[in-house]
Amino acid sequence: FSTFGKNLKWEKNSLTYRIVNYTPDMSAPEVDDSVEKALQVWAKVTPLRFTRIDNGTADIMISFVPQEHGDSYPFDGPGVFLAHAFPPGPGTGGDVHFDEDESFTFSSNTGYILFLVAAHEFGHSLGLSHSYDPGALMYPWYSYNNPDTFVLPRDDVNGIQSLYGPNPDTDGDIDKPEPPTTPDACDSTLVLDAVATLRGEMLFFKDSFFWRSYPQSNTPQQTLITNFWPEAPTHIDAAYESQQSDRVLLFKGRRVWAFSGYDLVRGYPKSISSFGLPKRVKKINAALYDVESAKTLFFVGSSYYSYDEAKKTMDQGFPKRVDQTFSGLTGEVTAAFQYRSYTYIYSGPYMFEYSLSTGRLFRLLNNNYFLRC
C-alpha cells in the first residue's frame, strides 16, 4: 500500500459526506446504497464514521461530472479514467468525482460497479494512494468483484490502519471475515495451482493471480488473471500452451478455456471430455505439452493420459500410473510444464526436474525455483 505522505489524513474520525448530484445510469436509491456501502468498507476496519448531509459543504463532496469540470484534471469521455479523488484536506480535499461519461451500474456485469469504484476513490479521500499489490482495492485498474461478497483485502486494511488504527468496536472480533491476501512468490509453503509457458514466457498460477516470468527480466511480475483474460476462471486446476495451435488452455473442474493472445477462442469454454477424457474424470490436476512428441499429458490423481495434439485424439494404452514413468514421484501432481527440453512436475511444495524421454530424475527443487526469490 502507499499513502500520500506528509501524513495527509483527517485529524478527526467523524466525517460528513454529501452526494451533490446523481448519474442517470442508476436509480437514486442505488447510488445512495452504493456510496453508503463503499464508505462502510473503510468504517468496518477503522474508527472512522460517516454521516450524510444533503446541504452545505461536507468533508467528502461526491459528484458525477464529465470532461473538464473545474479542477484541472479533465475526464476523457467514455474511456480509461473512471473517477478520481483528492487526498484529505480542506476545500476539494477528500472530494470524489465520477466521470459521468462512463456507464455505472449497481450490480450487473455491464458497466462499472459504482460500489467498487467508490470504495477505491474513498480510499484516496481518506489518505491512501495507489498500491503495487495487484490484489488490493487500491490497485489503479478496475477489476470486477462481487459487491455482495466483497471483503477489503489485507493490503488495504494494513494501509488504512497505518493512518487511523483499527476499529475499536470490532478489533479482535473472531468471526469477522479474514481479509484476502495476495499470494507471495517467496512463501516456502506455496503450492502452485498450475504452470504453463506462453511464447517463451512462463506463467505460474495461484488463486486469482499469476506471475509472468520473462526470460530477460529478473523478477516475475504478478497480476490478476482477469486483468489479462477477463473471461478466465480463477483458482484453476491446470494450464498448458498448445504450441500446435498457439493457444493457452486453462482448466477448472470439467471445463476448459482456450485463449489466443488476450482473446477467448470461439466455442470455449468446452467440456474436458472434448479431449476424449473419460466422463468419470471430474477434473485434471495438471497438463503439460511435450514439444518433442507433440503430445499433451493430462495428470488425473496418480495416473496420466496422453493426448495427440496433431490427431486430436487420446493415445491408446492410457491411463498409466505416474510413478511408472516418473521415478520417485509418489505424491499427487499439482502442476507441470516443459521448459528448454526439461520436464518439470510439481507435487505439493516441490518441483521434480525430469528428462521426459528417459524418465530420469535430475533435481528436486522448491516450488518457487523459477520465481527467483
Partner 1 sequence: CVPVSQVTEQDEHDAESYLKRFFNLTEEKGPTGRRGVSAVSSKLSEMQRFFGLQIAGTLDDDTMTMMKKPRCGVPDTNIAS
Interacting positions 230-269 with partner 1 (CB under 8 A): 262
Q: State in angstroms the smallest separation of the CB of 223 from partner 1.
A: 4
**99: which residues sit within 8 A by CB, 6+ positions away?**
64, 65, 66, 75, 76, 81, 82, 83
What character string, x for contact with partner 1 (CB under 8 A) and - otherwise, covers 77-116? Answer: --xxxxxxx-x-----------x--x---------x----
Per CB under 8 A, 182 contacts partner 1: no
- DSSP code of residue 152: -
Q: Is 332 one of the catalytic residues?
A: no
SS3 for 114? helix
Least separation, in Å, of the C-beta of 307 and partner 1? 26
The answer to whether 98 and 64 are in contact (CB under 8 A) is yes
What DSSP character marks residue 178? P
- Identify which of residues 83 and 192 has a Cβ nearer to partner 1 in the complex: 83
Query: Which residue in 69, 130, 154, 255 binds partner 1 (CB under 8 A)?
Result: 130
Count of residues binding partner 1 (CB under 8 A)? 40
Containing H/E element for 20? Answer: none
Which of the residues 100, 121, 241, 309 is marked catalytic? 121
* Given 214, 278, 355, 363, the residue binding partner 1 (CB under 8 A): 214
Q: Is 121 in the site for partner 1 (CB under 8 A)?
A: yes
Peptide bond into 180 cis (omega under 30): no
Min dist CB 69 to partner 1, Å, is 11
For 197, 242, 304, 309, 336, the CA distances from 296, given in Å and listed in that order, are: 13, 8, 10, 7, 11
Residue partners of 354: CB distance under 8 A and separation at least 6? 326, 342, 343, 344, 345, 360, 361, 362
Q: Quick one: which segment of 174-182, 220-228, 293-301, 305-313 binds partner 1 (CB under 8 A)? A: 220-228
Reduce the DSSP state of residue 33 to 3 states and report it: helix
**Binding residues for partner 1 (CB under 8 A):** 2, 4-6, 8, 73, 75, 79-85, 87, 99, 102, 112, 117, 120-121, 124, 129-130, 132, 134, 140-142, 199-200, 212, 214, 216-217, 221-223, 227, 262
Point out the residues that are catalytic: 121
